[in-house]
Amino acid sequence: MQLTLYSDYSLRVLIYLGLKGTELATITEIATSYNISRNHLVKVVHNLANQGFIATIRGKGGGMRLARAPQEINIGEVVRMTEMNFTVVECFDPDNCRCPITPVCRLKGVLHDALEQFLGVLDQYTLEEVIGNGPQLVRILKIPEGRKSARGSRARA
Amino acid sequence: MQLTLYSDYSLRVLIYLGLKGTELATITEIATSYNISRNHLVKVVHNLANQGFIATIRGKGGGMRLARAPQEINIGEVVRMTEMNFTVVECFDPDNCRCPITPVCRLKGVLHDALEQFLGVLDQYTLEEVIGNGPQLVRILKIPEGRKSARGSRARA
């Protein structure tokens, strides 16, 4: 049972941008910090922007930053958006369900409950809480300190 | 986010055998009832037998049945066994984790909690509860009524 790499990378981008505050970050910079493929991040960033989680500024000196404060970015909301497929078992997808017992299957209900509980935990957290240990994350990710950083004291420590 | 087909099929086999009671079932019969590949079921059955969920009887007239009563088969226990990979994100697998923030990442803890809640729901159910609507399932799966059936009144209805 796994989240997609797409969800994983989306969350990593948001963590990075949360740590940078109002400063702009580039895809290359984020890819380098996490040591992941830049190409993978292009679609991730595009989608996060489309969904209103991040703002992108084009052109030389451009980049991206969060479009909302970290306390307004709910982890459950992000994962519900990025994880396009919650087909825990095939009957969760009516278009591709071939299991004959689906109409009366109680297991389906149990698995639905389980999925809701999973997402319910994520709903309890915001990005602000996830990056609550900003200084440690900033150090590990080697995020450069900018002149106009608005990361707050946590990230500057 | 999906369970493996392997978990899905393991649960289907247990549902089928739960409905058959003490009567033996064959792999071909189960595959036909669910309209799935017989080949996929061979490994599923082998593993369920190895883990003590089902008993197999070899030879002509052989087959399989549950090795425990349905109320003693916990759905969480089954899925923890069949779902060999609970790597919700890569850092759940220390051998393949390349994310640099893993040692201090709070999201990892959140996702661990979420996974435990998911499994915690499954832990609340036994196979007996899942097949509580036996007559409906028996009808849909076209399970033949055997002379020595011990499915109980529910399944005979």
How would residue B148 be classed by pLDDT, with cut points 50, 70 and 90? Answer: very low
ipTM for the complex shown: 0.90
CB distance B18 to B132 below 8 Å: no
Judged against a pLDDT cut of 70, whether residue A1 lies above it is answered with yes
Closest partner residue to A114 among B34, B113, B121, by Cβ?
B121
What residues does each domain of chain A span?
5-148
- From chain A, the residues in CB contact with B104 under 8 A are 133, 136-137, 140
> Domain A5-148 adopts which CATH fold?
Arc Repressor Mutant, subunit A (1.10.10)
Q: Which of B110, B87, B1, B90 is nearest to A123 (CA)?
A: B110
Phi-psi region of B74 (alpha: psi -120 to 50; beta: other; left: phi over 0): beta
Does residue B96 sit at the A interface (CB-CB below 8 Å)?
no
Contact state of B110 with A130 under an 8 Å Cβ cutoff: yes
Above pLDDT 70, what percent of chain A? Answer: 92
How would residue A146 be classed by pLDDT, with cut points 50, 70 and 90? Answer: low
CB distance A132 to A154 below 8 Å: yes
Q: Where are the beta strands (DSSP E) in A11-114?
A: 54-57, 63-66
Closest partner residue to A130 among B33, B106, B119, by Cβ?
B106
* Cα–Cα distance for residue pair B35/A66, rounded to 1 Å: 49
Query: pLDDT tens-digit profile of A41-77?
Result: 999 999 999 999 999 999 888 999 999 999 999 999 9
* Cα–Cα distance for residue pair B133/B155, rounded to 1 Å: 8
Does residue B125 sit at the A interface (CB-CB below 8 Å)?
yes
pTM: 0.89
How would residue A157 be classed by pLDDT, with cut points 50, 70 and 90? Answer: very low
How would residue B26 be classed by pLDDT, with cut points 50, 70 and 90? Answer: very high
- From chain B, the residues in CB contact with A89 under 8 A are 2-3, 7-8
Query: pLDDT tens-digit profile of A4-45?
Result: 999 999 999 999 999 999 999 999 999 999 999 999 999 999
Does residue A117 sit at the B interface (CB-CB below 8 Å)?
yes
Query: pLDDT tens-digit profile of B41-58?
Result: 999 999 999 999 999 999
- From chain A, the residues in CB contact with B111 under 8 A are 3, 122
Q: Rounded to 10 degrees, what is the CA torsion of B137, B140, B144, B148?
A: 10
